[in-house]
Amino acid sequence: MSHQVAFIGLGNMGGPMAANLAGKGFAVTAFDLSEQALIRAAEAGCATSGDPHAAVVGADFVVTMLPSGPIVEAVMVAQGLLDSIPARALIIDCSTVSPDDSRRVAKAAGERGLRFIDAPVSGGTAAAAAGTLSFMCGGDGADVDRARPVLGAMGANVFHAGDHGAGSVAKICNNMLLAVHMIGTAEALQMGVNNGLDPRVLSDIMLKSSGCNWSLEKYNPYPGVMANVPASKGYEGGFMVNLMLKDLGLALETAKTSESAVPMGALAQSLYAMLKHSDRELGGKDFSSVLRLFQ
């Protein structure tokens, strides 16, 4: 008999993740506030529910993919979802939240006899659709091992970073670095173009040189250089500027509590805020649109 998975949150990331679970043979019951998201989930082979409490009935695993820490806490604690989750279920929160958010929800789950891990993801919407995400897990090692078949159906890499909250710390560090090297890549490409270079040629040169990085190799921010990335689609889709600003805010909050020096992270936050304030619509565009600051 296949494992029962309740999937809560079917946004740009959660929708394809739930679809991959259903495609890999898990019995998925999906919940979202969006009727369109539920329709897409049903088309992908998921059962759907308009009530999160009904969705978790009989679940072996409860996967959450929600927009923020306060929303995760509201759904789990204030709205009482933890009280509806079966005692045997393992809760896997894939949302990007602060480490303290993860620890509070883990504590609330533990007080009810429930097992919980934080397992935020890296890879973006393309990897969510392809099932090649990386999961950064915080929690008990035995719980992470129990989650591996579920996470493995949605991703290519599962890391155990440490205790509750450690997955969230790893995700925040990763996304701060992502913001920094995307900005540097955009800045360098635009300077090359301003001095007469073809952005494709310059990209090829840097890919084989010491400036090579993920943004350049997988997610080029210059329009027309790389097919099937947001930069070549008017910066539509992908990882929104608003979400990058949220993650950089989490990074600076985490840095403050640990007295860590993050001048590059602070500068990245400032530049993304500048980008959004230059045109409010850019908040909904992909974060590689930071190139526009340099044009």
pTM for this prediction: 0.91
Q: Which of 201, 179, 207 is nearest to 274 (CA)?
A: 179
Asked whether residue 1 carries a pLDDT value surpassing 70, the answer given is no
Distance CA 218, CA 240 (A): 17
Q: In this predicted structure, what is the pLDDT of residue 123?
A: 87
Q: In this predicted structure, what is the pLDDT of residue 126?
A: 84
Q: Which residues contact 223 (CB under 8 A, 6 or more apart)?
A: 231, 232
**pLDDT tens profile 70-108:** 999 999 999 999 999 999 999 999 999 999 999 999 999
**pLDDT tens profile 167-205:** 999 999 999 999 999 999 999 999 999 999 999 999 999
Q: In this predicted structure, what is the pLDDT of residue 36?
A: 96
Asked whether residue 133 carries a pLDDT value surpassing 60, the answer given is yes
Strand intervals (E) in 1-105: 4-8, 27-31, 47-49, 61-64, 90-93
DSSP code per residue over 87-127: TT-EEEE-S---HHHHHHHHHHHHHTT-EEEE--EESHHHH
Q: What percent of the chain has pLDDT over 90?
A: 96
The band of 218, judged by pLDDT with boundaries at 50, 70 and 90, is: very high
Tokens of 62: 């409860």
Distance CA 173, CA 179 (A): 10
Average pLDDT, the chain: 96
The band of 37, judged by pLDDT with boundaries at 50, 70 and 90, is: very high
Distance CA 31, CA 53 (A): 9
Q: Is the Cβ–Cβ distance between 99 and 165 less than 8 Å?
A: yes
Distance CA 235, CA 250 (A): 24
Q: Please compute the mean of the pLDDT values over residues 241-252 and round it to a whole number.
A: 96
The band of 124, judged by pLDDT with boundaries at 50, 70 and 90, is: confident
- Domains of the chain (ranges, CATH numbers): 4-163 (3.40.50.720), 169-294 (1.10.1040.10)
Positions annotated as catalytic residues are 171
Asked whether residue 165 carries a pLDDT value surpassing 70, the answer given is yes
